[in-house]
Amino acid sequence: MRGTIAVIDKGNVRVHSYMAPDNALNVTTQLIETPNRLIAVDAQVRVADADEVVAYAKGLGKPLDRLIVTHAHPDHYHGAGHFEAPIHALEVVRDQMAARGDLQDPDGVPVPAAETAPTHLITPGTEVIDGVPFVFEAVSGGETSDQLLIRLPEHGVLVAQDIVYHHTHAFVGNNDIARWQDILQALSDPAYDTVLPGHGLPAGPAVFAEMAEYLKAAQELLGDDGQAYKQAIIERFPSYGSPFVIDIGNYYLFGTPLQTGADRVLPDGDSAGGTR
């Protein structure tokens, strides 16, 4: 297996977190196992990694009820069509995904927009799935313009996805760090002892302070030279994974060209080599 699986038991719910390897941005797909079903959250940047998640899910012996796409960055939905399940998303996220059109994953595998298009819209509020309350919240700003947050209040699980990166470098190309810090402060709640990130393995509540520290450093170190910033942030957090995420952010912040083919993982599907 290319990816890493972490499993957390929460009574009648079990969380299976699949983290892709470093060269696939450490993207994390969550498989939330309820008594009779599986709910998947986000679908990988590499189609091959999505296939690995699907194979693992099939081994759990429960039907895949749905795939939830939390936001419109392609690294979280390239593999959506391979889950062969209804795709759920916020309306704004569906529309942003549609605007990207057809894409390719980092390996050049075609990702037709028709295969990844959400078929069911999520309305913020509480939905009981297989007897388990899921609370859906729309969040604006921070890492991206719009994304979905999911709470399992009875189990102390917060599915934060790209609101939180855990021991991986973060995409700051949206240039909205102050808003992101506010979101982190608002979410820090000891009632949620399991925090599921969009990049990295599951964490505890301390991850909010860690993320805030990273963003503070990013704010301090950002200047007008992307390569200098990359070197400085890596020196500050030498153990963090997926440094290529910094390059993607630099493309948006400074117009720094990316290597050939790297544009396939850009958050908005643009071609590399220009400014946003």
Mean pLDDT (the chain) is: 94
Question: Residue 112 pLDDT > 90, yes or no?
Answer: yes
Confidence at residue 261, expressed as pLDDT on a 0 to 100 scale: 60
Domain segments of the chain: what residues?
4-265
Read off the pTM: 0.95
Residue 276 has pLDDT above 70, yes or no: no
- The CATH superfamily holding the domain 4-265 is Ribonuclease Z/Hydroxyacylglutathione hydrolase-like (3.60.15.10)
Distance CA(22)–CA(199), nearest Å, equals: 10
For 140-168, how does the pLDDT look when each residue is reduced to its tens digit (9 = 90+)?
999 999 999 999 999 999 999 999 999 99
Residues 20-69: tens digit of each pLDDT: 999 999 999 999 999 999 999 999 999 999 999 999 999 999 999 999 99
Write the CB contacts of 164 (distance below 8 Å, at least 6 apart in sequence): 184, 195, 196, 197, 198, 200, 203, 207, 208, 211
Q: Distance between CA atoms of 110 and 180, rounded to whole angstroms?
A: 32
pLDDT at 273 over 50: no
Q: CA angle 112-118-120, nearest 5°?
A: 155
Lowest-confidence region among 44-53, 81-90, 240-249, 259-268: 259-268
Helix (H) or strand (E) holding 178: helix 177-187
User: Exposed/middle/buried for 47, CB within 10 Å: 0-12, 13-18, 19+?
Assistant: buried
Q: Could you give the CA distance from residue 44 to residue 22 in angstroms, rounded to a whole number?
A: 13
